[in-house]
């Protein structure tokens, strides 16, 4: 933890793993989170998402080429009022917008990460073009190269990509997305708020973040979605498109971990394509 001490300008007194490459670190005056790895994209995402305070995100305290230091948030239990506030805040955050579909946060790199897999943030004129080129095809190629899909299965995804603009996804301006809003990145804090952590932020379709919330079972999801819909009504049929938006994280998980994720992604592609 010498790097953490150097970045903060004070000695580290204790550290403990939080999972992955993240650590809970105590100094003489405060507790922080230190995360090692490619951190430039995450730091830019946290700053972008937290720019207007719509949803709490950890403050970026320091970083270098290898380490990101952010404030530590004490966890608590899910509460109905917090869920509703989060839903309204998420709607406001999405409405802040982005420069384009696929655009990285200001100052953020094109080459970012989604969990253990690389993720490119490249601007496109339409959601369909972005989603096919940057969120389906790269992970499909990786999964196929690893023997998870043969030519017939690959063709299912290719046909879907060719028809994305015909599947009813409403034409909306690009939203300011967290990008990896599964339940593990939704932190219910001890002070009764909901924080977003570990972003893969980019410009995208707002239905994408909502689909991620549903993928692994975010607590109080019905309250979150109801409050969101009150502030920013969702287009008819959005629930029918959840699977389409979940295809990206499912393919990413298939590329990274294989197993049942490959079958889930293929089933979704067949169902919506």
Find the CATH number of the domain harbouring 222: 3.90.1200.10
The answer as to whether 61 is a domain residue is no
Say if residues 87 and 227 touch (Cβ distance below 8 Å).
yes
pLDDT for position 4: 86
pLDDT for position 23: 95
Using the predicted structure, report yes or no on whether residue 9 has a pLDDT greater than 70.
yes
Using the predicted structure, report yes or no on whether residue 1 has a pLDDT greater than 80.
no
Q: How many folded domains does the chain comprise?
A: 1
Using the predicted structure, report yes or no on whether residue 148 has a pLDDT greater than 70.
yes
Task: Say what percent of the chain tops pLDDT 90.
Answer: 93
The answer as to whether 169 is a domain residue is yes
Could you tell me the pLDDT band of residue 273, with boundaries at 50, 70 and 90? low
The answer as to whether 190 is a domain residue is yes
The answer as to whether 176 is a domain residue is yes
Closest CA to 127 of 159, 161, 93, 158: 161
The answer as to whether 17 is a domain residue is no
- Domain membership of residue 184 as a residue range: 74-272
Q: What is the mean pLDDT of the chain?
A: 96
pTM: 0.96
Write out the catalytic residue numbers: 180
Pairing between β-strand 186-188 and β-strand 202-204 as defined by DSSP bridges: unpaired
pLDDT for position 123: 98
Using the predicted structure, report yes or no on whether residue 272 has a pLDDT greater than 90.
no
The answer as to whether 170 is a domain residue is yes
Grouping H, G, I as helix, E, B as strand and the rest as coil, residue 115 is coil
The answer as to whether 3 is a domain residue is no
Using the predicted structure, report yes or no on whether residue 164 has a pLDDT greater than 90.
yes
The answer as to whether 265 is a domain residue is yes
Distances (CA, A) of 177 to 49, 69, 155, 206, 272: 8, 22, 29, 7, 23
Using the predicted structure, report yes or no on whether residue 49 has a pLDDT greater than 70.
yes
- Tell me what the mean pLDDT of segment 96-116 comes to: 95
Which residues are CB-neighbours of 236 under 8 A, at least 6 positions away? none
Could you tell me the pLDDT band of residue 202, with boundaries at 50, 70 and 90? very high
pLDDT for position 95: 98
Strands (E), 109-159: 111-114, 117-120
Neighbours of 28 (CB within 10 A): 9
Q: Convert the pLDDT of each residue in 178-198 to its tens digit.
A: 999 999 999 999 999 999 999
């Amino acid at each position: 933890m010498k790097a953490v001490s150097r970045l903060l300008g004070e000695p580290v007194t204790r550290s403990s793993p939080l999972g992955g490459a993240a650590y809970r670190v105590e100094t003489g005056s405060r507790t922080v989170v230190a995360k090692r790895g490619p951190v430039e994209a995450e730091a830019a995402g946290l700053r972008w998402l937290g720019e207007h305070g719509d949803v709490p995100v950890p403050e970026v305290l320091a970083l270098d080429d290898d380490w990101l230091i952010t404030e530590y948030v004490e966890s608590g239990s899910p509460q109905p009022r917090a869920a509703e506030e989060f839903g309204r805040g998420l709607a406001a955050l999405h409405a802040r917008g982005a420069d384009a579909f696929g655009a990285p946060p200001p100052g953020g790199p094109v080459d970012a990460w989604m969990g253990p897999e690389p993720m490119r943030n490249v601007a496109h004129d339409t959601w369909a073009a972005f989603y096919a080129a940057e969120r389906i095809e790269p992970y499909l190629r990786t999964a196929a190269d690893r023997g998870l899909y043969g030519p017939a299965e690959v063709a299912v995804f290719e046909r879907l990509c060719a028809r994305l603009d015909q599947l009813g996804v409403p034409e909306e301006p690009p939203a300011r997305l967290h990008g990896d809003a599964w339940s593990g990145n939704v932190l219910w804090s001890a002070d009764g708020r909901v924080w977003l952590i570990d972003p893969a932020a980019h410009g995208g379709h707002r239905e994408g973040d909502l689909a991620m919330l549903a993928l692994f079972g975010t607590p109080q999801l019905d309250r979150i979605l109801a409050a969101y819909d009150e502030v920013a009504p969702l287009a008819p049929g959005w629930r029918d498109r959840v699977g389409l938006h979940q295809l990206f994280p499912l393919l990413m998980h298939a590329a990274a971990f294989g197993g049942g994720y490959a079958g889930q992604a293929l089933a979704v592609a067949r169902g919506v394509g």
